[in-house]
Amino acid sequence: MSDLRTPEEDSTGSDGGPERPPRYEPVIRWAEYVRAQPAEVRGPQQNAVVNGKIEGAQAVDVSAEEKRAIREFADDVLEAERGAAEPDEE
């Protein structure tokens, strides 16, 4: 993620856009909030954010072929993660 670079790393990105420093402060504030709030408080808030992201993604017009390509990619990623989590059985 480009926002998680260390200060020593180049933060200009490959798009040729203006340099943007890493945004550590929002991450730190979020971590402090999570530590301070019980799950009963932050859970519904996090669900609202996630649901909003899902609704936004569903509102994008995507063809059936694009949906298949996205699903295949997601399945490949999940399969790779599961394979990395399981020890080799030989």
pLDDT on residue 37: 93
Across 33-54, average pLDDT? 93
How many other CB atoms are found less than 10 A from the CB of residue 5? 16
Across 52-61, average pLDDT? 89
For a pLDDT cut of 70, what percent of the chain falls above it? 76
> How would residue 16 be classed by pLDDT, with cut points 50, 70 and 90?
low
Across 56-68, average pLDDT? 89
Q: What share of the chain is helix, strand, coil (3-state, %, to 5)?
A: 65, 0, 35
pTM recorded for the entire structure:
0.42
How many other CB atoms are found less than 10 A from the CB of residue 43? 11
Centroid of chain to Cα 73: 15
The answer on pLDDT for 52 being more than 70 is yes
DSSP 3-state assignment of 3? helix
